[in-house]
Amino acid sequence: MNTSALPSQAAWLWRTATLLFAGALIVRVFAVTATGFDGLYGQDAYAYFDQAMALRATLLQGIPAPPGFHWPQGYPALVALMSLAVGGVPIAAQLVSLVMGSLVAPLTYLVGRKLLPSGGDGAAILAAVLTAIGGQAVLSSIVSMSDATALALILLSMWTALEFATTPRRRCLLALAVVFGCAAVATRWASILVAPALAVPALRGLAYGRRLRHIFPALLAAALGSGAVLFTLFHNQAFDLMGYFRNWNLLNAVWGPIPEIPAGTLSAKAPGLLYYLAPLYHPAFLGPLLGPLAGWGLWRLWRDNEPYRSLTLVLWAGVPFFFFVGLPLRNLRFCLTNAVPFILLAAWGAWILLPRPFLGKAIRVVIGLSLALIVAWGARRIESFTSAARAIIHTVHSVEALVPAHAIVLTFEITQTFEHHSDLQTFELFDQNEATLGMLIKGGRPVFLLTQPDDVIARWQNQAPGINTRWLEDHGSLQEIEAWGLYTLRRFEEHCVHQAGFPRAEAAS
C-alpha cells in the first residue's frame, strides 16, 4: 500500500469539497442579490423567524418563548444563535439557509464517494454539481425555512455513518451519525424517514467492527443526549404530528385531485405516485433526460454485486417516497428529503456510460442539455417566486394606504406578512368562527376582507375560509374596493348600512 498517496488524496478530497461549497454559495448569493429577496414569504417563513426571535429573547433576556409553535425548533434555534452575531433581522434566518444549503453540494460529493463503487468520484462530482445548481435546492437555500438545513444534517449523518461502516474502530463516528440524525429530525420531522437507510451502514460497521462493548457507551451517550434534545424540542409542540398519519391514505398515490391544491396545476392533477417521482423528471432536480438514467445506475449497482450500496440508496429514496405518496399534500420541497439518492444513481448511470464510444457522446449531450434546462428552470422559478413575494408586500402597503388606520383586516395566508409590514390590525380568516366574527363586526370599527375569492371558492369552500366568507355575506355585504392580482379587498357592510368614501374599484392594479 502506497501510504504517501494518502495525504495528497485527502488534500484533493477537501479541496474539491471546498470548491463545491464555494460554487454553491456563489450561486445562492447571486440569487439573493439579483432578486433582493430577504427570505421571508407566505406564512411559514415568518413563523420560523418569529419563533427564532422569541428564542433569541429567551437567550438574551430570559423571556420564555411563547407556546404554540407548530414545527420542530431546530431551525429557529440555529437562527437564534446566528442572530446573536448579526442581530435580530431577517438576514439571520437567510444566512442559516444559505450556509446549510451550500453545504449540500460538498456533502453530496462526500456521500457519493462512499456510496458509489470505486471509480465513482466523477459521478459524485456530477451529483454535487446538480445539487449546487438545482432549482429547488437553490430556492430552499434562500428562503427562511428548514428544508435545506434538514437536508444538510441528513447528509452529515449519512456521511458519518458511511465513514463508520468502513472504519468501525472509530466509534465516535457512529455517535456523530446519531447526533446529526437527531438534529435533522429536530429541524424537520420528515428526516426520520431516512433512518432505515442510515441503519444499513451503521449495522455494517457494527458487524465488521465486532467491538460493540467499546462502541456502546459512546452510542448510548449520543442517543440519550439527542433524545433529550428531541424531547425538549417536540414537547408541548402545537403541531399535530399524528395528523399526517391520520390523513395518510395509499389511495392518494393513485388518485390525483386534491381539493386544497390549486386546480389546473401538476400538483392537483398528478397522483402522488407520479408527483413524488419528480426528482426523476422535473427540471427542479434532474430533468426528463438525465433522470431515467437512475434506473440504469441502480441496475448496474445490483448487477455488479453491490447490495450494501444498493440497499442504502433504495431505502433512502424509497421509504420517504412511500410515505409522501400517501399524503393529501403535494409540494416539491418535500422531495428534497430523498432527492440525493435519485441524483446519485442518475449520475452513476451517466458516468458508467461515458467511456462507451457512441453512447458516451450521447450522454455528454444529455448532461449538457440537462444542466442547461436545470439552470433555466431554476432561474425562472426563483424570479417568479421572489416576484410573487414582492407583489404580496406591495399589496400589503397598498391596503395600508387605502383603509383607515383603525380598521380591522381579515386576511388569508398572508396575515404574517401584514404583521411584519404594516401597522394594521389583522386577523387570520382561517382561525375565525361565528363568535369571533360577530365580535369583530360589532366592535364599531370598519372591517375589511382581503382574500383570493376564486381560490377560496375552489379550494376552501367547505373549510374555515369559505365558511367564514359565507357567514360575512349572510350577515351583510362585501363591497369590492380594489384588487391587486388575485387578491381582492372588500369592505364588510351590515345590512341597511351604506358606507361612503370607498367606491367600488373599476380596475385592478
Q: Which three cell numbers stand for residue 506?
A: 373599476
Q: Tell me which residue has cell 381560490.
A: 455
For residue 44, pLDDT over 70 is answered with: yes
Residue whose C-alpha is closest to residue 175's, from 221, 227, 228, 230? 221
For residue 241, pLDDT over 80 is answered with: no
H/E element, 421 = helix 415-421
With beta carbons less than 8 A apart as the criterion, state whether 315 and 267 touch.
no
Q: How confident is the model at residue 210 (pLDDT cuts 50, 70, 90)?
A: low
CA 405, 409, 412, 415 dihedral sign is positive
With beta carbons less than 8 A apart as the criterion, state whether 202 and 161 touch.
yes
**Mean of pLDDT values over 315-332:** 91
Can you give the pLDDT at residue 94? Answer: 97
List the beta bridge partners of residue 478: 492
Rounded (5°) CA angle 300-306-307: 115
Measured from the Cβ of residue 303, the count of other Cβ atoms closer than 10 Å reads: 9
Q: How confident is the model at residue 298 (pLDDT cuts 50, 70, 90)?
A: very high
With beta carbons less than 8 A apart as the criterion, state whether 316 and 260 touch.
no
**Mean of pLDDT values over 463-479:** 89
Can you give the pLDDT at residue 132? Answer: 97
List the beta bridge partners of residue 428: 411
Q: Between 459 and 285, where is the model more confident?
A: 285
Which range of 7-11, 174-178, 195-199, 215-219 scores highest in mean pLDDT? It is 195-199
CA dihedral angle for residue 374, residue 376, residue 379, residue 382, rounded to 10 degrees: -60
For residue 315, pLDDT over 70 is answered with: yes
Distance CA 165, CA 222 (A): 17
With beta carbons less than 8 A apart as the criterion, state whether 272 and 253 touch.
yes
Q: How confident is the model over 445-454, as pLDDT tens digits?
A: 999 999 998 8
Q: Tell me which residue has cell 449531450.
A: 365
Percentage of the chain beyond pLDDT 70 is 85
Q: Between 454 and 137, where is the model more confident?
A: 137
Q: Which three cell numbers stand for residue 187?
A: 429541524
Residue whose C-alpha is closest to residue 333's, from 296, 406, 284? 284
What lies within 8 Å, CB to CB, of 9 at 6+ separation is none
Range of weakest confidence among 15-29, 241-255, 463-477: 241-255
What's the alpha-carbon Rg for the chain, to the nearest Å? 25
Indicate the average pLDDT of the chain: 86
Q: How confident is the model at residue 162 (pLDDT cuts 50, 70, 90)?
A: very high
For residue 338, pLDDT over 90 is answered with: yes
Measured from the Cβ of residue 127, the count of other Cβ atoms closer than 10 Å reads: 30
Amino acid at 304: D
- Coil, helix or strand at residue 106: helix
User: What pTM was computed for the model?
Assistant: 0.88
**Mean of pLDDT values over 275-302:** 94
First CA to last CA distance, the chain: 72
Amino acid at 505: A
**Mean of pLDDT values over 147-171:** 90
Can you give the pLDDT at residue 231? Answer: 60
Can you give the pLDDT at residue 13? Answer: 86
Can you give the pLDDT at residue 502? Answer: 46
Residue whose C-alpha is closest to residue 192's, from 230, 239, 218? 230
Q: How confident is the model at residue 509 (pLDDT cuts 50, 70, 90)?
A: very low
Angle between helices 147-166 and 74-86 (to 10 degrees): 110
**Mean of pLDDT values over 343-368:** 93
Q: How far is CA 231 from CA 80, 225, 226, in A?
A: 19, 10, 9
For residue 287, pLDDT over 70 is answered with: yes
What lies within 8 Å, CB to CB, of 249 at 6+ separation is 326, 328
Q: How far is CA 271 from CA 258, 263, 276, 335, in A?
A: 9, 13, 9, 15
Can you give the pLDDT at residue 218? Answer: 58
Distance CA 352, CA 224 (A): 43
List the beta bridge partners of residue 484: 487
- CA 494 from chain centre, in angstroms, equals 43
Measured from the Cβ of residue 32, the count of other Cβ atoms closer than 10 Å reads: 20
Q: How far is CA 456 from CA 425, 450, 473, in A?
A: 22, 11, 14
**Mean of pLDDT values over 174-185:** 89
Q: Between 429 and 211, where is the model more confident?
A: 429
With beta carbons less than 8 A apart as the criterion, state whether 92 and 79 touch.
yes
Which range of 57-66, 94-103, 204-213, 268-277 scores highest in mean pLDDT? It is 94-103
Can you give the pLDDT at residue 507? Answer: 36
Residue 339 has φ and ψ, to the nearest 5°, of -75, -35
CA 437, 439, 440, 446 dihedral sign is positive
Distance CA 151, CA 316 (A): 12
**Mean of pLDDT values over 482-494:** 90
Can you give the pLDDT at residue 23? Answer: 97
With beta carbons less than 8 A apart as the criterion, state whether 105 and 132 touch.
yes
Percentage of the chain beyond pLDDT 90 is 56
Q: Which three cell numbers stand for residue 319?
A: 421509504
For residue 1, pLDDT over 50 is answered with: no
Can you give the pLDDT at residue 294? Answer: 95
- CA 291 from chain centre, in angstroms, equals 21
Q: How confident is the model at residue 220 (pLDDT cuts 50, 70, 90)?
A: low
With beta carbons less than 8 A apart as the criterion, state whether 236 and 197 touch.
no
